């Protein structure tokens, strides 16, 4: 059993996403600490890519800020190595970065990830039908390869994903791109019902932003929630030119939001 799967054993898991290097590396370390203090059981760190097809405007802007600040795979791995937290870390990035890193396609990225403390990978633009090589390498190095299931994913494709997946399944709450929402889409409940028969943790993402949503999703059968834009938006607003908020205040805002969501999934 993986460290990621273990994280679900004590109840529903909060999985926050932030973009590594937004607005800088030092801040990312502090923000991760605040999220863990607020109840995060797994952290999803975005390794920025110039064409983030699955991400909405809030996260796209964070990716742009991170890239402008100089974030790249080398710096990302150095940053991950410095993060001193006792919870699993998942990298969310795109296949082009994974394939082009190092001397040996795929193998170099996975080996470096394992060495630096990455426990799982989410590659939104890698279909399960083309993931065999990366999956084999991840399995050999103890890294979970996590796939996304959308409301429109056909049943036969769900079967293929569930045969290959490890760690948890990322249940896309609604069609479209990431972003802050205040409701729970009916598609979320339908997806969770469809996945009931599979014995693997199910974490719902895309639009989760408040404790009430978190509570409804977990009561609907989810084992955890993934929240990204709501945290990235806090970071963005706090670091805007019109704001004079300091790092400690940003960390408190992140911790408070994480605690709100944690309490939602525990009630």
Domain boundaries, the chain: 3-266
C-alpha separations of 206 from 59, 70, 121, 203, 226 in Å: 11, 27, 17, 10, 7
pLDDT at site 1: 65
Q: Hey, CA dihedral for 166, 2, 227, 265, is it positive or negative?
A: positive
C-alpha separations of 252 from 36, 106, 208, 217 in Å: 12, 38, 20, 25
C-alpha separations of 259 from 41, 49, 124, 190 in Å: 12, 29, 28, 27
CA-to-CA distance for 223 and 221, rounded, in angstroms?
7
pLDDT at site 188: 86
Question: Is 25 part of the annotated catalytic residue set?
Answer: no
pLDDT at site 50: 83
Question: Is 44 part of the annotated catalytic residue set?
Answer: yes
pLDDT at site 179: 45
pLDDT at site 51: 76
Q: Are the beta carbons of 231 and 255 closer than 8 angstroms? A: no
CA-to-CA distance for 141 and 24, rounded, in angstroms?
29
pLDDT in tens, the chain (267 residues): 689 999 999 899 999 999 999 999 999 999 999 999 999 999 999 999 887 565 678 888 999 999 999 999 999 999 999 999 999 999 999 999 999 999 999 999 999 999 999 999 999 999 999 999 999 999 999 999 999 999 999 999 999 999 999 999 999 975 544 444 544 667 888 999 999 999 999 999 988 899 999 999 999 999 999 999 999 999 999 877 677 688 899 999 999 999 999 999 997
Local structure of 83: helix, strand or coil: coil
Catalytic residue among 22, 25, 55, 144: 55
Question: Between 3.20.20.70, 3.90.1310.10, 3.30.479.30, 3.40.605.10, what CATH number should domain 3-266 receive?
Answer: 3.20.20.70
pLDDT at site 3: 93
| Strand ranges of the sheet holding 148-149, from the earlier edge strand across to the other edge | 144-146, 120-122, 89-92, 43-46, 13-19, 224-227, 202-205, 169-172, 148-149
pLDDT at site 182: 47
pLDDT at site 161: 96
CA-to-CA distance for 169 and 197, rounded, in angstroms?
13
CA-to-CA distance for 179 and 219, rounded, in angstroms?
22
pLDDT at site 246: 85
Catalytic residue among 44, 119, 144, 255: 44
């Amino acid at each position: 059993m993986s460290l990621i799967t273990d994280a679900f054993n004590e109840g529903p898991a909060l999985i926050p996403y932030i973009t590594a290097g937004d607005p800088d590396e030092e801040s990312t370390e502090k923000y991760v600490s605040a999220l863990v203090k607020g109840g995060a059981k797994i952290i999803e760190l975005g390794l920025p890519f110039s064409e983030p097809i699955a991400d909405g405007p809030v996260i796209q802007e964070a990716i742009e800020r991170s890239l402008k600040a100089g974030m790249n795979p080398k710096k990302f791995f150095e940053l991950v190595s410095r993060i001193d937290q006792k919870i699993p870390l998942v990298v969310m990035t795109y296949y082009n970065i994974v394939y082009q890193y190092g001397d040996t396609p795929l193998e170099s990225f996975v080996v470096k990830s394992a060495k630096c403390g990455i426990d799982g990978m989410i590659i939104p633009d890698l279909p399960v039908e083309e993931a065999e090589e990366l999956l084999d390498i991840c399995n050999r190095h103890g890294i979970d390869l996590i796939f996304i299931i959308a409301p429109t994913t056909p049943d036969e494709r769900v079967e293929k994903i569930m045969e290959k997946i490890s760690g948890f399944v990322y249940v896309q709450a609604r069609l479209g791109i990431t972003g802050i929402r205040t409701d729970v889409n009916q598609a979320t409940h339908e997806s969770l019902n469809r996945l009931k028969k599979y014995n693997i943790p199910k974490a719902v993402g895309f639009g989760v932003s408040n404790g009430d949503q978190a509570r409804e999703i977990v009561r609907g059968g989810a084992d955890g929630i993934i929240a990204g834009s709501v945290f990235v938006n806090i970071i963005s607003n706090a670091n805007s030119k019109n704001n004079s908020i300091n790092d400690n205040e940003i960390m408190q805002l992140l911790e408070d939001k994480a605690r709100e969501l944690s309490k939602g999934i525990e009630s």
